[in-house]
A and B are shown apart, each in its own frame.
Chain A
Amino acid sequence: MEPSISIKNLALSFGNLKVLKDLNLEVGQGEFLVLLGSSGCGKSTLLNCIAGLLDITDGQIFIGGRNVTWEEPSQRGIGMVFQSYALYPQMTVAGNLSFGLKNAGLPKAEIEDRVNRAAKILQIEPLLKRKPAALSGGQRQRAAIGRALVRDVNVFLFDEPLSNLDAKLRADLRVEIKQLHQQLQNTMIYVTHDQIEAMTLADRIAIMRGGQILQLDTPHEIYNKPTSKYVADFIGSPTMNFFDGAIEGGDQLRFTTGDLSFTLEGYEFDAGTPAPGTAWFGIRPEHMLSGADAENAPIRMNGQVNLVEPLGSDTLARVTAEGHALWIRLDGQAAIASGDSIAIGFDPARANLFDKTTENRL
């Protein structure tokens, strides 16, 4: 099937400042793609380029098979939802929804029809006569989505749409956006810096850094098989535990860090057995075993608990072992206190190894 959006060798620079570098990206029909990254990584810039709100320096953009590189935003067949909602404050919700359509010269009946349909989908029918100032944050964001919806387009672009809302509302609207996507089956590109939003909403996540896409994959793959140390570090809270050490050859590969040395039995290398050299060994807090479970782990050590963060559903502990400070995720019922000594262990099969110099996955 032809991709819904396809970006070829896209680059954007302002003077000497290269904001986006030779980007390639294909988004499938009906796919929900999330652009994720810390601020300044170029994710919103990329979205604005796709929308046509920024003129690109190089490359091409196709939407629905049509080359839209030089098209005006309104001609690209997209709808867009902004972080600040960007509702026209002097118009009612109905006015906001219909203004673009009126301007495009659509017949009155058709406009009314579309507005009503969008209002129904978003359950904002009672709000149509109100002005944005009289709406709550969540209602405003719904109205903003409605303005994209009435355009009857196949591609929706979301620019951090939930960032201005409080945590509870954000979680609710996240679910609604997901349901909306399931209902409409539109292609959606969604920019966020919130990894929970990214993980929960996306079919695929593109992790961006420095104007490039570092990794583009399903949330599962991104979480479990990060292709670089940056991605491994960026995704997951608390962050992955890293050991700074070296891989040593022999008939059985070993990883050595300080006084600690263990075999890498069970670890699946990405591209065959690597040459010996310096490397990062990373393991997620939930893959750190403790207590009785640790007994059976291939690698075991003893640690001292410095800090306990009970979250209810689970408990996080900061443990010092063999000179390393490590995060461990424990069961919410675990009886543990600061100062306790505990046995911890892990299985290299669940680890992530990264080359020290390239920081790429081994």
Chain B
Amino acid sequence: MADSQVLTDTAAVTGPFGRRPKPIFSRRNIMLYGTLIVIAVYYLLPLYVMVVTSLKGMPEIRLGNIFAPPVEITFEPWVKAWSEACTGLNCDGLSRGFWNSVRITVPSVIISIAIASVNGYALANWRFRGSEVFFTILIFGSFIPYQVMIYPIVIVLREIGVYGSLTGLVIVHTIFGMPILTLLFRNYFVSVPEELFKAARVDGAGFWGIYFQIMLPMSLPIFVVAIILQITGIWNDFLFGVVYTKPDTYPMTVQLNNIVNSVQGVKEYNVNMAATIITGLVPLTVYFLSGKLFVRGIAAGAVKG
């Protein structure tokens, strides 16, 4: 106000005029962007350290500083991590774990989403006696610590003859992906106008007809969200991998942990970091490519039914 009084006296155009003066380097902006940049650097630091360490030779690591960029870039650690690093007696690198993870992730994603989407659709549009009860159990079940159920599941899988095989692990991922995916699909299908569903029924379409011809084509975005959610979730899994597979079929995370935390031999930090990046590469790629859909996926977990 004081300022405006001073300016009033100037000339034909009296007083403040036009855009409120807002210097780009106002204290507020410096504080705001300054804080954000510092935080962003902090969050990026581990990724940076991983990358630079993986590109250095061991002598340089021993002498230098982990934050310093590599003097001499070498891809040796990456090659070693991928094809030579040892877990126990196997020395064929992370590649085995990578392909195991691919063999686990692809069918798990497809099967879990197929089952959960049809299930969510049944819950949203074809409710039957008791369907909500089972759904409630499913949602509350998702809070039960996995540790409570892992042993009995071992017995169940052994009984049906798939314990230790990839099939067994795919079943486990399908089971534990079910609560969140079913919730995701159910909520999505509930939001589809009911008139559409009714119109299709009047036209004589049945359960599967409506699902494949109407619901599926219009819910592609939610399928993409589910795929992102599942790829990252299953790829990053460690517990189920270590419990339900054998060393030959260990997923990448388990193998990575065994390589890095093995007590034998000289620690090759550059190889370890290369292996760590390679393991993180798949979910990171999915994350950076999917952008907002990833956010939608994780936010979906927070939306209650």
Contacts and interface: CB of A to CB of B under 8 A. Distances in A.
B19 A57 contact: yes
Contact of B18 (A58, A66, A71, A75): A58
A55 B17 CA distance: 11
Contacts of B21: 70
Interface in B1-45: 1, 3-4, 8, 13-22
Give the interface residue-count category, chain B. Answer: 10 to 19
A69 B15 contact: yes
Contacts of B4: 66-67, 70-71
A69 B1 contact: no
A60 B13 CA distance: 9
B16 A56 contact: no
Contacts of B8: 67
A60 B19 contact: no
Contact of B16 (A57, A67, A75): A67
Contact of B17 (A59, A66, A71, A75): A59
A19 to B, nearest CB: 14
Given A67-B8, A70-B4, A75-B1, A55 B20 contact: yes
Nearest to B7: A67
Interface string A132-164: 000000000000000000000000000000000
A60 B20 contact: no
Contacts of B20: 55-56, 69-70
A67 B18 CA distance: 11
Interface string A63-76: 00011011100010
Given A67-B8, A70-B21, A60 B1 contact: no
A202 B230 CA distance: 59
Contact of B14 (A57, A59, A67, A71): A67
Nearest to A59: B18
Interface string A37-61: 0000000000000000001111110
A61 to B, nearest CB: 9
A57 B18 contact: yes
B56 to A, nearest CB: 46
A237 to B, nearest CB: 30
Contacts of A60: 13-18
B1 A55 contact: no
A70 B1 CA distance: 9
Interface in A68-99: 69-71, 75
A64 to B, nearest CB: 13
B19 A56 contact: yes
Contacts of B13: 60
B1 A58 contact: no
Contacts of A55: 19-20, 22
Nearest to A58: B18
Nearest to B8: A67
A24 to B, nearest CB: 14
Most buried by A among B1, B4, B18: B18
A70 B16 CA distance: 6
Contacts of A70: 3-4, 16, 20-21
A75 B19 CA distance: 17
Interface in B89-123: none
A56 B19 CA distance: 5
Interface in B225-269: none
B266 to A, nearest CB: 59
Contact of B19 (A58, A66, A71): A58
A55 B22 CA distance: 10
Most buried by B among A55, A58, A67, A71: A67
Interface of B: 1, 3-4, 8, 13-22
Interface of A: 55-60, 66-67, 69-71, 75
24 contacts: A55-B20, A55-B22, A56-B18, A56-B19, A56-B20, A57-B18, A57-B19, A58-B17, A58-B19, A59-B18, A60-B13, A60-B14, A60-B16, A60-B17, A60-B18, A66-B4, A67-B4, A67-B14, A69-B15, A69-B16, A69-B20, A70-B21, A71-B1, A71-B4
